[in-house]
Structure 1
C-alpha cells in the first residue's frame, strides 16, 4: 500500500498523528435540554453535514472534545464523521480525534470519510456493530507533506462547493415533485382533478341520492354474504362436535347516520354527486394477528404467505407481488387469511399509514389492517386515498410510545365517494401522472448517486496524491512525523497535547 504513495508521503497509524479520546456516557440525571453545562453529543443522530447539531446538554461530562476535534461514530453505525465547533461532551457512541502539530483537522476529516468503508468493515458485534479503540488507533492514514495537506483541503472544498450547488438543485427539484404529488392527491379527493371528465361524462354520473342507494345496497349484499359464510361455519362447527367457541354472527349494518354540521364544516367541499362516508359504512376493517411465540417452528416456515409491516412499506409500488415469511396451517388460527387483491394498510410503527394492494392470498400480522368487501375495480382509488392521508395518519397522537392506528380510528375515517366510473377515472389519471413523476424522481436519484460517486472520486484522487500538484520544496511528511514524535516525547507523563488550542481549519 505504501509503495503506491507519491514521494514524500507516508502511511502511518492514526495514533501516531492524533490523540484519540473515546467517549463515555455521563450520569443520566445530568442530561438536559435547557442549555445547562456542555453541549452533549452521543452519535450520528446529532450529525449535520460538517458540524453537529446541539440537541441536549450535560452538567457532568465524563469525556470532552474541543473545537477542531473530529467526532467519529464508533458504534451503530461505524464511520460517520463530523467536526466539533464547540467545547462539548461526548458519549460512548463517539470518539474525538485530535490532530497533532499543525495538521489541518479537515485533512483528517476528509481522509476518514474517504476510508469510511474500510473502517466500517472492521466493525464487530451481533446486536450492533462497533469498532474498538485499539483498531481505530491502529488504522493506517496516508499523510502528505503539511503544505500539500492545506492545498488538498482547499481543492476539496472548492470542488465540493461546486458539487454541493448541483446537489442542492437536485434536492430542491425532488422536493418540488413531492409537493406536486401531494397537491395532485388533494385535488383528486376534492373532485378537482376530474372536473373536465365530469363535464364530458355528465350522462354517466350518479346523483347523490342514487349514490346513497347504491352504497346501502352494497352494504346489504355484503351482510348477506357474511351471513351465508357464518351459516356455513356454524354447520361445520356443529358437524365437528362443537369444538371451542361458536363462530360469531355478523352484525346487521346500522342505518347510515348523516354527518353533523360540525364534521362537514371541517371537510373540503365536494362537487355535486360526491358524498362523504365513514370507512366503516363502506367496507369491513380487520386487523391481522401473529402466531406466538414468534418464529416457533410449530407455526412458521410453511407454504402460506405471512406479511409483516416491512413487506408493505418497502417501496412505492401500489401492488405487492412477493413475500418473505410463511406460516403453516397450524398458524392460521392465530392470524387472518385474506383473498388476493385485498387492500392493506400499515397501522403500527414509524411507517404506519402506508397502503398496499396485495395480489395474492395471504395472512398478515397485527401491524397491518385489511379492508374487506371492496370492489376490485376501485381498489386503486382507495389506495391513493390512503396514500394522500399518510401524513395525517402519522400525526394522530394516541399517547402510546409506539405509533399505532387502531381499527376503530380507521373505521371512523371520512372517505369521499363518487360514481364508480369517476373513481376509476381518478385512479387512472393519478396512475399515469405518478408514473411520470416516478420516472423523473428516478432520474434525479441517479444524478444524486452520480454526485456522490464524484465526491468519492475526488477524495480518492486527493489521498492518492493526484488532486493537487506536488511541490518538491514541500517539507516531507517524515519531518512532520518527527516533530509530532518529539512533541509526544516532550509531553510524556502529561497530557499529550493541551486541548485548549486554536480551532483548526
Structure 2
C-alpha cells in the first residue's frame, strides 16, 4: 500500500507504532470446574462480539499471572489468532476475564479510534493484506503470530476524519442490517411454511377436502413403518483398514453425506469399502437406488437422503438407517415424511441421550407412526408437496443471493472507507 494513493492528510502506519499489542496465554491453565474467572479463547469471538455462553474458568491465581502480561480493559480490541482468524470485538464494560490464543490491541484513542480500527480488521482490505503479505502461518490450522499482528499496515487519517468515517459506516450498516434482518425473517418464514406443507400433506389435507383436525381421511390408516416397509436396517462400520478415501469398489455412506432435504452429497469426503466386505460382513446394509436414509445419531437428527443411481449398490455406516420402498410405499413419500418435524420430534423423544448425544435404535425406526394411504394418493401427495416447495425453493435461492449481495455491499462500503472515498 502506498501513501500516494491515499487522500491528503492520510498516512500508512504500522500497528505497533500506534498501539501496544499483546496476546493471551498459549498454555493450558489449571481449570476450575464451576466457578472462577472466565477464559476467553478464539472460539469465543463470534459475530464481532464476545460469546460467554460456552467458556471455561480459571483460578484467580492463573488470572493474575496472565493479566501481568495481557490485562484486558474496557475499550481494548480482541482478535482471534487461531482457527477462524479475526472476528475482532471491542471490550465494552466489565473486563474481568483472561484470554488465550487471542490478540489484544490496547486502546490508544489519541492515535486511532477503536471503532475505526475494528472496521478495518473486518474489511477485505485487511484480509487481502493477510494473504499478500503472508501474515498467516500453519497448514492444518491457520494462525497469526503476535509478531505479525504488530506488522499490520493501516491507512490512518486524522482523528476527526476517523470519526466521520465511523459515523458514515454505522449509518450505512444500519440500513444494510435492517435489510438483512428482513431477509432472514423471510428465510425463517419459508422454513415454517415448508414444515406446514409437510404437516398438511401427512394429515391428508393436500389431497382431501374437509379433513378434520386430529383425524385421517377415509381410506387412510395409521400404521407402524415396519407394517408397510419390510426392510428397515442400519449399517455397520468395518475396521479402518477396509475404508479407503476418494476411490474404491463400493461407495460407503456416512452421516456427513446426508442432507436435510432428501438429497445425497457423496462429493463430500467420499469413502469406499471392498466388494468382499460389502457382500459378506455388510450384506444386511446393502443399499440400492431409491432407498431412503436417515441419521440415527445426533444432534441434529432429521437428515434424510434418497440413494441415487450414481452407483448400482451402496453401503452405510452404523449411524444411518435404511428404509426400502416397495409395492406399498414410494421413496419420496417416505423421504418427505421423514423430513416432517413430527417425525424428527418423535425420534428425539424416543431416543436415548448419552453425554449430549441422541442415539435412536433401529428397532425404534421400525415403530415410527406412519400415515398410510394408497400408492396412487402417495404420488398425488408428493406432487402437491413439490409444487408448493418448488416455489419456496426459488424464493430461498433469491433470498440467499440477496444476502450474498448484502455482504458484498458491506465489503464495498469498507473498501471505500479505507481508500478515503466514503466521506
Task: Give the TM-score, by structure 1 length.
Answer: 0.71
Shift of 1:351: 4.2
Q: Is the CA contact (8 Å cut-off) linking 1:306 and 1:325 kept in structure 2?
A: yes
Q: Which residue of 1 aligns with 2:238?
A: 291
Q: Does 2:159 match 1:146?
A: yes
Aligned match of 1:359 in 291, 304, 308? 308
Shift of 1:359: 1.9
Q: Does 2:94 match 1:78?
A: no
1:65 and 1:349, CA in 2 relative to 1: closer, same or farther beyond 3 A? same
Q: How many residues align?
A: 394
Q: Does 2:411 match 1:440?
A: no
Matches within 5 A, 1:3-402: 3-24=4-25, 27-30=29-32, 32=34, 38-45=37-44, 47=46, 49-55=47-53, 56=55, 58-60=58-60, 61=63, 62-63=66-67, 64-85=71-92, 86-102=94-110, 103-114=112-123, 115-116=126-127, 118-119=129-130, 122-196=135-209, 268-283=214-229, 284-293=231-240, 296=243, 301-313=247-259, 316=261, 318-320=262-264, 323=267, 324-332=270-278, 333-335=280-282, 336-360=285-309, 361-375=313-327, 378-389=330-341, 391-392=344-345, 393-394=347-348, 398-401=352-355, 402=357
For residues 414 and 222 of structure 2, the distance between their equivalents in structure 1, rounded to whole angstroms, comes to: 57
For residues 50 and 223 of structure 2, the distance between their equivalents in structure 1, rounded to whole angstroms, comes to: 48
Q: 1:84-141 CA deviation, whole Å, 9 max, x = no partner?
A: 1131324323222223243211111000001245447743334432221112222222
For residues 90 and 344 of structure 2, the distance between their equivalents in structure 1, rounded to whole angstroms, comes to: 34
1:301 and 1:197, CA in 2 relative to 1: closer, same or farther beyond 3 A? farther
Partner secondary structure for residue 195 of structure 1: coil
Deviates more, 1:438-447 or 1:325-334: 325-334
For residues 21 and 76 of structure 1, the distance between their equivalents in structure 2, rounded to whole angstroms, comes to: 18
More RCO (CA 8 Å, sep 6+): 1
The unaligned stretches of length 5 or more in structure 2 are none
Shift of 1:370: 0.6
Q: Is the CA contact (8 Å cut-off) linking 2:201 and 2:381 kept in structure 1?
A: yes
1:334 and 1:12, CA in 2 relative to 1: closer, same or farther beyond 3 A? farther
For residues 307 and 447 of structure 1, the distance between their equivalents in structure 2, rounded to whole angstroms, comes to: 34
Shift of 1:12: 2.4
Shift of 1:295: 6.4
For residues 383 and 278 of structure 1, the distance between their equivalents in structure 2, rounded to whole angstroms, comes to: 15
Task: Give the TM-score, by structure 2 length.
Answer: 0.84
The unaligned stretches of length 5 or more in structure 1 are 199-266, 469-505
For residues 37 and 338 of structure 1, the distance between their equivalents in structure 2, rounded to whole angstroms, comes to: 52
Deviates more, 1:443-452 or 1:57-66: 57-66
For residues 266 and 389 of structure 2, the distance between their equivalents in structure 1, rounded to whole angstroms, comes to: 22
Q: Is the CA contact (8 Å cut-off) linking 2:242 and 2:274 kept in structure 1?
A: no
Q: Which residue of 2 aligns with 1:458?
A: 413
For residues 380 and 130 of structure 2, the distance between their equivalents in structure 1, rounded to whole angstroms, comes to: 53
1:118 and 1:365, CA in 2 relative to 1: closer, same or farther beyond 3 A? farther
Q: Is the CA contact (8 Å cut-off) linking 1:345 and 1:355 kept in structure 2?
A: yes
Q: Is the CA contact (8 Å cut-off) linking 1:191 and 1:270 kept in structure 2?
A: yes
1:275 and 1:153, CA in 2 relative to 1: closer, same or farther beyond 3 A? same
For residues 84 and 295 of structure 1, the distance between their equivalents in structure 2, rounded to whole angstroms, comes to: 51
